Amino acid sequence: MEMSRAGEARSKGESCTTWSALSSEGTASICSKSPQEIMALFGPHLTHREKLELAAMQEVWYFALYNKSEGCNNDGYDDQEQNYILFRHEHLRYRYEVLKKIGEGGQGQVIQCLDHKRNILVAIKILVSPSSSKHEIYQKMELQIALELQGEGSDEDFNVIKVLNIFHFRGHYCIVMELLKESLHEVIRNAGLRRLDMAMVKTYTRGILKFLRHINSRQIVHADIKPENVLVKDTVTGTVRITDFGTSFFVESQPMNVGGTLEYLAPELLLGYSLTCGVDMWALGCTVAELATGRELFRSNSHEDHLPRCIEILGMPPRYMVNGAPDRTQFFDHRGKMFCPGKKRVPGSFPLHKVLKSDDPEFVEFISSCLRVEPAQRPSSLLAQASKEKLKVVEEEETMVEELVEAELRQ
């Protein structure tokens, strides 16, 4: 994905002056120029805000001078959706050179940049400018969790994306991460009709489970496990890294509104229950099914249609779950009959093994075990037993994947 046409024009026209002194080896370094020297060189072309930024900088590694942006927010730096307006080859915090956009969503944009201090390519997630104090709290939680999961060997041992730096620039929080080649979404798309080899599917599954086991021990819910958020570190070994903590939260401080992607949302979220790490297991089942089949497991038309679609494949959830759901009336009438907006969905009429098109009972059972619904709130007399059962399910799933992989390697 490229920058805007306006950005392209500015990067080539007279309205842009880029200055970067390179050493004889070609590595980026402008340590010989202090912020004060750059101020002296380009002072007449700087905005008041840029002058204040430079005055606060201790070092400058890369500098590109552009005319002021023409956005409608944040002194012209942001667009209507509070996204930072990017221009190719501009600087981020006088160190990172913007190269191209590689992803975007409701929470921000992901940019490929050159880190002129370390002379490496990195991925930087630029969050949208927070629209309220509550919005900023959510963003700070994302930063906190991203850092909480870092640690010596956390990338190698638990498949957490490596965070290299976090900074604040022109009203936006920015997360600098290692740059990886592709996501599992791209792997699925590139495989096309050939489908992925089941041995590689199992390898990817083990990698995601390793991550989920780690965050579960920290009482953290990722809340948006899906192929786009699983990045491939090594295409040969199938090593993965999990990224994007924009909807993640600590179980003990669950936000009022939890995000996520429709096709991977667990029923307990739709029904208004408090959430546990079980929603990540549900999303894992959806992700693994997609890896194996090449298509989304629950293709829903809307939020209102998603739960009926899940029930069409898995059958009705437990009666206590329907009766006790805080948002029960959005999906069921007073008799417990399911609303079906648009297409009529008959519970259990399209069973899981048919959707998966698989005759492998172990594979179908694995996906089924991931898709077991277990809300956090249920009758107190059953709560202790439910916790034990859920823990047993997670342990059995991890053992099952390991056994499947070992069996595959022996073949």
Nearest 5°: the CA angle 225, 158, 404 is 75
pLDDT tens-place string over residues 105-132: 778 999 999 999 999 999 999 999 998 9
Spatial separation of the C-alpha atoms in residues 268 and 374, rounded to whole Å = 7
Contact call for residues 92 and 84 (beta carbons, < 8 A): no
The answer on pLDDT for 389 being more than 70 is no
Per-residue model confidence (pLDDT) at position 101: 95
Q: Is 79 a catalytic residue?
A: no
Q: Hey, where are the domains in the chain?
A: 5-178, 182-410
| Domain 182-410 indexed as CATH 1.10.510.10 | yes
Please say if the pLDDT value at position 68 is more than 80.
Answer: no
d(CA 44, CA 224): 47
More confident residue, 41 or 355: 355
Helix-strand-coil split of the chain, %, nearest 5:
45, 20, 40
Q: Quick check: 225 pLDDT over 70?
A: yes
Q: How many CB atoms lie within 10 A of CB 263?
A: 17
Taking residue 349's Cβ as centre, other Cβ atoms within 10 Å add up to 12
Catalytic residue among 224, 244, 280, 305: 224
H or E element, residue 206: helix 198-217
Q: What is the pLDDT of residue 25?
A: 36
Segment 396-407 mean pLDDT: 48
Supply 45's token pair.
């072309």
Query: Which one of 3.10.580.10, 3.40.50.10800, 3.40.190.10, 3.30.200.20 gives the CATH number of domain 5-178?
Result: 3.30.200.20
What the block records as the tokens of 98 is 């913007």
Q: What is the pLDDT of residue 5?
A: 34
In this prediction, residue 66 carries a pLDDT of 62
Contact 198, 206 (CB under 8 A): no
* pLDDT at residue 7 tops 80: no
pLDDT in tens, 154-204: 999 999 999 999 999 999 999 999 999 899 999 999 998 788 999 999 999
pLDDT higher than 70, residue 366: yes
Among 160-169, 283-292, 316-325, which stretch is predicted with the lowest mean pLDDT?
316-325
Quote the pLDDT of residue 377: 54
Residue 104, token pair as written in the block: 């975007």
pLDDT at 399: 53
Query: Residues near 331 by Cβ (< 8 Å), separated by ≥ 6?
Result: 270, 271, 304, 307, 308, 325, 338, 339
Measure the CA–CA gap between 226 and 213, rounded to whole angstroms: 16
Residue located via tokens 């249609």: 305
Q: How confident is the model over 264-281, as a mean pLDDT?
A: 92
Q: Is residue 251 classed as helix, strand or coil in its secondary structure?
A: helix
- pLDDT at position 181: 86
Mean pLDDT of the chain: 84
Cα torsion at 316, 320, 323, 329 (round to 10°)? -40
Q: How far is CA 244 from the centre of its chain?
A: 3
- Give 253's Cβ-side CA count (13 Å radius): 12
Question: With 50 as the cut, is the pLDDT of residue 17 above it?
Answer: no
Both tokens of 136, joined, read 């900023």
| Rounded mean pLDDT, 94-107 | 90
Evaluate if residue 37 carries a pLDDT over 70.
yes
Does the structure show a pLDDT above 60 at 217? yes
Residue 190 CB burial class (10 angstroms; 0-12, 13-18, ≥19):
exposed
278-293 helix and 380-410 helix, angle to the nearest 10 degrees? 30
> 3-state class of 242 per DSSP?
strand
H helix intervals, 230-357: 267-270, 278-293, 303-314, 319-324, 352-356
pLDDT at 21 > cutoff 50: no
CB 261 within 8 A of CB 224: yes
Q: Is the pLDDT of residue 346 over 60?
A: yes
Rounded Cα gap, residues 109 and 92, in angstroms: 13
Of the chain, the percentage scoring pLDDT greater than 90 comes to 60
Q: Do 375 and 271 touch, CB atoms closer than 8 A?
A: yes
pLDDT at res. 105: 78
Q: 65: which 2 tokens?
A: 């001078």
**Dist CA 304 CA 10 (whole Å):** 45
Task: Say what the pLDDT of residue 220 is.
Answer: 96
Distances, alpha carbon 125 to alpha carbons 111, 182, 226, in Å: 6, 16, 18
Least Cα distance to 289 among 230, 355, 237, 231 occurs for 355
